[in-house]
Chains A and B, each alone.
Chain A
Amino acid sequence: MTASALLPVFALMTSLTAAVIIFTLPEQKHQLRTAVNLTAAVMKLLLVGLMIWGVFQGNEYGISFPMVPGVEFILRADALAMLFAGLSAALWLLTTVYAVGYLEGSPNRSRFFGFFSLCVASTMGIALAGNLFTFFLFYEMLTLSTYPLVVHRGTPQALRAGRTYIIYTLTGGAALLFGIALLHNFSGDLPFRPGGHFEDMAPDLQIPLTIVFVILIAGLGVKAAIVPLHGWLPVAMVAPAPVSALLHAVAVVKAGAFGIVRVVFEIYGLEAASALGLLSGLAAIAAFTIVYGSVRALNQTDLKRRLAFSTVSQVSYIILGLCLAGPVGVAGGLVHLVHQGVMKITLFFCAGNYAETLGIHRIDELDGAGRRMPATSVAFTLAAFGMIGTPPLAGFITKWTMGTGALAAGMDWVIAVLVVSSLLNAAYFLPVLNRIWFREKKDAWPEERQWGRFETSAWLLWPSLITAALLILAGLLASASFSPLGWVELIVAREVDL
């Protein structure tokens, strides 16, 4: 086994090892724990960076061994894996920094950071998984490691949210497992493969394949928060801000969306899925979810709940993009995996900054917050405009690419969905921005604290500013080869045989 074949294993092990060390550390060893956390995060980022460079050069990293006869455990770094792994490694580092500041002085930090590391190890595994079985292992590990994070505060509300979360996701997981088993039953262990396995399928397989597809998507759709399987997401926003940030940007919803990408691209293949008529059904559901999520976001009064419904809407952009089944549309969907992550994590970071510094949770408490916390508010503003899809920010690149892809595929109605969604995004984000910048502060902040020499703790401020900068760069430099769009075009060239 060569060293390069071990890179994916190392990338996975950094966060797993960090988790083990942190669990064994005594609660009060804050500095050591922070050091372990940050070292692991930086190391992982370096390892993933190394693999991205290698994959760009055309190298393949991977390892596989049989678990039980007929079922293999496969880790493999391909371009698609690197999209998700890169996103997760970069945002993990930032979220770790944020979480260290956020949880300063609160109890049970050892438990929190232990599960936090496990959660990230799971996303790394999901990214690198080479077949459905391996994917499923990490997918369930993610469910179990995020539960303690959701209920971290231990309040009755948090426990209720945790219960909803675990019921939804475990049921989804069971459906996924059932689907995988069915698929295994008539076609054996299928590794993920560009173009999929069913290019020329036997006619008698059509009906079972359709049924299995529906089951798999239903299983994955719980985490991806496709309507009507989204119920857990708005409830789970009671979790601490860094957890929400991770849940909404990288870990959970993206795991679902990424799974759908793998199933559509590399198990069924775009062509077969399209021929079976599966994509049009999926497109309709995704379009409905996009509009539904935005409509629900409109009448939320709690900032984080509004953001949560916005996630429901935005994640389905990714799925709708896949259904456009052309190179451009697919690129638009895939690139949103990264863009949505960067934008949404910024919004949640900022929501956390407002909550922790000023005690603001409701939108109507934000009046005049721009004057008190200008840097946070600038970051929030940029991310909100990005979500609306204003050029030159990341969201615009998504919308433009998807729109072009939709027209190329002759699916003109998708433009209407994009426009309606943008209008709704404007309708629920612009009033928030108006309050932040143009309303006068009404009375005292609900719960203000002086924290550090800036408007809030530097640990909270810098991650928000960095992700805000990233969402500008992802849009402004979209044509550079190292941009998310550049990488996605590489994936499309390599993976999608169209």
Chain B
Amino acid sequence: MITAPLLLMTVILPLASLLLAFRSRWQEIYRYSLPLLPIPAILAGLMAELDNWLELPWLLIGGVWGLDELRQTFLLLTSVLWATAGIFAVGYLTPRKLRAFCVFWALTLTGNLGLIISVDLASFYSFFALMTFAAYGLVVHESTDEANRAGRVYLAMAVAGEMALLTGLLMAAQQADSMLLGQLPAAIASSEQRWLIIALLVSGFGVKAGLPFLHFWLPLAHPVAPTPASAVLSGAMIKAGLLGWLVTLPFGELSLPTWGNTLVILGAIGALGGAVLGLKQVRPKTILAYSSISQMGLITLMVGAAMANTAQAATLFSAIALYALHHGLAKGCLFLSTAVELPAERRSRWLVWLLIGLPGLSLAGLPFTSGAAAKFAMKNALKPEQYEFAMAEYLPLIMSAGAVATMLLIWRFLWALHQSAQTGNNHRFKWLGWVAASVCSLVAFWFLPGARSTAGHSWFAVTPSEAWSLIWPIALATAIAGAWWFVRGRNDTGIS
């Protein structure tokens, strides 16, 4: 009974908040309402009945909204991250262009939440477009030359992506003779132009997901946005591209080894190349943006494997959802921490560094963190003996290299942050938002439905060999970073 109102409110509340933009003197109210906007979505993620579709036949070309297991995980990730980033934003924002920021924030949020609950194509594509175009306002918010340039690159690539999507979706929908997303995979699998449709959808969503060679906008745009916006861009919106892949591509219909190989190669390039480029960066937020490309590369490995082997698609989907949930929450924390000012007092300063570092270590897969659960799920799902496509045997190697690269990048980030971090007092909402995000990443993660079903057991039931498989990449990366630090001298600021 409660499902329909929650789904409707998920979209309507952030849209209705636009009324607060009518008077400039209401902008302070708008600021404080930002954390509240994703609340219906959080409730929907926790309470809505799954596979209970809400039909809106008058909407667009026939609207159908609802949640299944996959969408539930994505909705929770997205709404929780937007809520914590929203709390952070209350303390972060200055009065300059505050109203504009709130409007674009609300619109982008509407799109990001709406696309997750859309089960029909037209709603999905509408919300996707809303998110894409509204996010431009967040990217260029600071209106520096750098932001404007990033905005231009972002918009150009986004529009190109939209066109690829339009074409791919049109062809798929025509083949399916249906506007339901659920009908597309089978239709694509049986289409004669399968290759073209898949290429269009992989690249169209790939722009958003930071797929290598379609990623150019990402390291420019994610860092220039105001910090709370960077957090949702890199944590939540990047996952919209992933969700797009998962709901449209012909998983579970047909094994496509060529696509599997292609995506695994792209994933490897993203995972390792993203890290290498990230190591060369100086600014903390840019390093994090490259880390997102790297992490999405690892996820792309799983997407590729699912394309290559129908039988594994279901297992891989849970692993992908878990990984997305873990990465989104952790990356959100890391981005927020770039704007946290360090306390002057020595002991609390160490505490803050610990809280900054933990989500990073989680990304690297430290035992007892969400990252460990995600990595376990990924490793189990990507055991080479389950696959026959050519790239399968390299999967463990890529994953191990990816883990080392991740940790190296985290050290690089911490070092860069250490160089640039300032001492001072934080607005209490900044504390609150950042701590809330960290709590979600480190603690609440285990209680969210997506994590409960897939990984609930693995954090306390670790065998020594499993623990070793998680720890050696961290140790190796730490040794490399330490050696580097020792060689280059303690006062060196960057790696050229």
In the complex, what's the smallest C-beta–C-beta distance from A371 to chain B, in angstroms? 9
| Overall SS of chain A's interface | helix
In the complex, what's the smallest C-beta–C-beta distance from B381 to chain A, in angstroms? 34
The contact of B174 among A390, A392, A408, A479, by CB within 8 Å, is A408
**Contact B125–A391 (Cβ < 8 Å):** yes
The answer, yes or no, to whether B384 is at the interface (CB within 8 Å) is no
List 5 tightest A-B contacts by C-beta distance, closest first: A391-B126, A392-B126, A407-B174, A403-B170, A480-B58
**Contact A479–B57 (Cβ < 8 Å):** yes
Least CB separation from B170: chain A residue:
A403
Asked whether A400 and B61 contact (CB < 8 A) given A391-B122, A392-B122, A438-B143, the answer is yes
| B137 contacts across to A, CB distance below 8 A | 437-438
Which B147-199 residues have C-beta < 8 A from chain A?
Answer: 148, 151, 155, 159-160, 162-163, 166-167, 170-171, 173-174
Name the interface size band of chain B. 20 to 34
The answer, yes or no, to whether B62 is at the interface (CB within 8 Å) is yes
In the complex, what's the smallest C-beta–C-beta distance from A426 to chain B, in angstroms? 5
**Contact A423–B140 (Cβ < 8 Å):** no
The answer, yes or no, to whether B129 is at the interface (CB within 8 Å) is yes
In the complex, what's the smallest C-beta–C-beta distance from A456 to chain B, in angstroms? 17
**Contact B59–A476 (Cβ < 8 Å):** yes
The answer, yes or no, to whether B47 is at the interface (CB within 8 Å) is no
Which A374-401 residues have C-beta < 8 A from chain B?
Answer: 385, 389-392, 396-397, 399-400
The contact of B59 among A407, A434, A477, by CB within 8 Å, is A477
The contact of B167 among A419, A430, A440, A480, by CB within 8 Å, is A419
The answer, yes or no, to whether A123 is at the interface (CB within 8 Å) is no
The contact of B129 among A391, A434, A477, A478, by CB within 8 Å, is A391
Which of A404, A478, A479 has its CB near the most chain B CB atoms (within 10 A)? A479
Asked whether A404 and B59 contact (CB < 8 A) given A392-B122, A422-B166, the answer is no
The contact of B133 among A385, A397, A418, A423, by CB within 8 Å, is A385
| A440 contacts across to B, CB distance below 8 A | 143
| A390 contacts across to B, CB distance below 8 A | 129, 133, 162
Supplied contacts A404-B174, A437-B100, 13 more A-B pairs, CB within 8 Å: A389-B166, A390-B129, A391-B60, A391-B125, A392-B123, A403-B170, A404-B173, A419-B163, A419-B167, A423-B160, A430-B155, A477-B58, A479-B59
Which B42-72 residues have C-beta < 8 A from chain A?
Answer: 57-62
Residues of A within 8 A of B (CB): 385, 389-392, 396-397, 399-400, 403-404, 407-408, 415, 418-419, 422-423, 426, 430, 434, 437-438, 440, 475-480
| B58 contacts across to A, CB distance below 8 A | 477, 479-480
A422 to B151 Cα, complex, angstroms: 19
A404 to B176 Cα, complex, angstroms: 11
**Contact B166–A478 (Cβ < 8 Å):** no
Asked whether A423 and B60 contact (CB < 8 A) given A391-B125, A404-B170, A438-B140, the answer is no
**Contact A479–B62 (Cβ < 8 Å):** yes
In the complex, what's the smallest C-beta–C-beta distance from B255 to chain A, in angstroms? 27
In the complex, what's the smallest C-beta–C-beta distance from B388 to chain A, in angstroms? 34
| A407 contacts across to B, CB distance below 8 A | 170-171, 174
Which B109-137 residues have C-beta < 8 A from chain A?
Answer: 122-123, 125-126, 129, 133, 137
| A475 contacts across to B, CB distance below 8 A | 60
**Contact A478–B60 (Cβ < 8 Å):** yes
In the complex, what's the smallest C-beta–C-beta distance from B121 to chain A, in angstroms? 9
Least CB separation from A477: chain B residue:
B58
Asked whether A479 and B155 contact (CB < 8 A) given A403-B170, A404-B170, A438-B143, the answer is no
| A477 contacts across to B, CB distance below 8 A | 58-59
**Contact A400–B163 (Cβ < 8 Å):** no
A-B contacts, 24 listed (Cβ < 8 Å): A385-B133, A390-B162, A391-B122, A392-B126, A396-B126, A397-B60, A397-B61, A400-B122, A403-B170, A415-B167, A418-B166, A419-B163, A419-B166, A423-B159, A423-B160, A430-B155, A430-B159, A437-B137, A438-B137, A438-B140, A438-B148, A479-B61, A479-B62, A480-B58
